[in-house]
Structure 1
């Protein structure tokens, strides 16, 4: 029987009272099961962290000695036990090392998706979706009007711009995906990487992911070459350069508000859209769907009288 209190939202984050651990806590806790290394899911100051090897490496890169007192590195599909709860990681397809977390207790399976995507992405592990009794899904873009276009077709838009491009990206996951896509579909472009993003590119290389050609940003070389140079920068840097002249401004995101005021829209998202969520529900075949990280009301309305949808 599904336990409605198997997971509960606390100020510290999502808590499993039956296993006495947190999933993607927002502050340091004793036992943290971490789905992936984005800062809104992986924080410093935990005592024990359970995660994939790549997630550990990013946390240690960013947080140094404060990352955790101990790491328990878990491979995909490897089952382990934490305080009586059986846990298995499955590739989430969001960024490298990102995991869906399958929790098993008293014969019931609860699948926490974390952030995930169905679109193909050669820079990370391809999504694998197990079946479960309860699907706990992110609902960032859970709106029937939201449909993410093909990333392959979106990136080709850059070929319509000859001038240099200031391209805003999130430094972990998106920047590496964009680098690989530019190398594949925009061969005339040269990729320059912001100094804060470059170490993550190097980590991807260490973990066997070939992103293609790129170089650490050099202000002089970018000024000397006035065409076909793409400068990948984090959001804060992108905003600070809004007044820069002689470059086209582009931001890679699924959010409409991040496209406004730019010279070109680039709708490339690392999250599921509405159709992807419905596809995931069909694959998981759950008895219940619980929603997180967004608005689950549209899913509640869609599945009314068909499937119970609970908004956590």
Structure 2
């Protein structure tokens, strides 16, 4: 029997009363199961953190000694128990080390996707489809009007300009993917990386991910060469240099509002779009779908009278 209260939304985060643990808590807790290392899912200060090895490494870099009291790193497909709930991680395809969390309790399987994408990405482990009774899916882009274009087609837009490009990208995950895409599809570009992004690139390489060629940002290079330079910067730097001269601006994101007032739109997302969410539901074969991180109303309407869809976040 599916338990309606197996996962509940609390001010601290998603709570599983039957295992007495939190999924991606937003405040320090005793038992934290962390899907991936982005700051809106992984905070520092919890006592026991269960995650993949890469996620632990990213958290240790970001939060230093406050990352956690203890890390319990688990491989994909390795099952472990917290109280009476059996947990297994499966790749989520979002960033390096990102995991879906399969929770089994009294014969019922609950699958929490965390953030995910099902498209290929050479910089992280591919998404795995896992069957479950309840699919707890992110719904960031759960809108039929949202269809992510091919990342290759998007990155190839940068070949249309010889001018230097200031490219905004999240430091963890997106930046490494962009470096790899630039190397593969924009061979005339010289890739330079902001110093705050470099440690994450090095961690990717330590885990065997080949992102290709890049250099630490050099102001002289950018100043003396007015063509073919791509400077990858984190969002805060990108927005603070909104009046930067002699560069074309672009920001790698699935969000339309982040494309406004840029010289080039760059719709490269690491989240599932409408079609990908539908395909995931089809492959998981759930009896119920619970939605998080976004608006699940359109999914609820789409599956009306066919599949129970419950919106957890409001």
Correspondence 1:65-104 to 2 at 5 A: 65-104=65-104
Query: 2:114 is matched with which residue?
Result: 114
**Map of 1:169 onto structure 2:** 169
Unmatched runs of 5 consecutive residues or more in structure 1: none
TM-score calculated relative to the size of structure 1? 1.00
Looking at structure 2, the residues matched to 245 and 64 of structure 1 have their Cα atoms a distance apart, in angstroms, of 36
> How far apart are 1:161 and its partner, in Å?
1.0
Shift of 1:309: 0.1
Does 1:19 pair with 2:24?
no
**C-alpha deviation, 1:223, in angstroms:** 1.0
Alignment of 1:69-218 (within 5 A): 69-218=69-218
Q: Give the Cα–Cα distance (whole angstroms) in 2 for the partners of residues 68 and 219 of structure 1.
A: 37
**Residue 264 of structure 1: how far off its partner (Å):** 0.7
CA distance in 2, matches of 1:13, 1:195: 32
| Shift of residue 204, structure 1, vs aligned partner | 0.3
SS in 2 for 1:265: coil
How far apart in 1 are the matches of 2:96 and 2:255? 22
CA apart distance, 1:129? 1.3
Deviation, structure 1 residue 27? 0.7
TM-score (norm 2): 0.99
Match of 1:241 in 2: 241
Deviation at 1:183, TM superposition (A): 0.1
| Distance in 2 between residues matched to 1:199 and 1:218, nearest whole Å | 17
* Structure 1 residue 227 displacement after superposition: 0.6
Whole-Å Cα distance in 2 between the matches of residues 264 and 59 of structure 1? 32
Q: Quote the residue 2:53 is aligned against.
A: 53
Task: Give the whole-Å Cα distance in 1 for the aligned partners of 2:241 and 2:225.
Answer: 18
Q: Distance in 1 between matches of 2:208 and 2:199?
A: 14
Distance (whole Å) between structure 2 residues aligned to residue 100 and residue 129 of structure 1: 10
CA distance, structure 1, for counterparts of residue 66 and residue 245 of structure 2: 40
* Distance in 2, Cα, partners of 1:204 & 1:8: 34
1:287 corresponds to 2:287: yes
Instruction: Please give the alpha-carbon distance, in whole angstroms, between the structure 2 residues aligned to 1:15 and 1:252.
Output: 32
Q: Secondary structure at 1:109's aligned position in 2?
A: strand
* Residue-by-residue CA offset, 1:129-175 (whole Å, 9 max, x unaligned): 11000000000000000000000111000000101000000110000
1:268, 1:27 → 2: CA distance?
Answer: 30
| Cα distance in structure 2, aligned partners of 1:83 and 1:27 | 21
For 1:161 and 1:270, how far apart are their aligned partners in 2? 25
Q: Distance in 2 between matches of 1:120 and 1:223?
A: 36
**In terms of mean alpha carbon deviation, does 218-227 or 68-77 score higher?**
218-227
Q: Secondary structure at the match of 1:110?
A: strand
Shift of 1:181: 0.1
How much has 1:220 moved relative to structure 2? Answer: 1.3
CA distance in 1, matches of 2:60, 2:45: 11
Superposed displacement of residue 123, structure 1 = 0.1
1: CA distance, partners of 2:221 / 2:70: 43
Structure 2: distance between partners of 1:211 and 1:26: 31
Query: CA RMSD of the aligned region, Å?
Result: 0.4
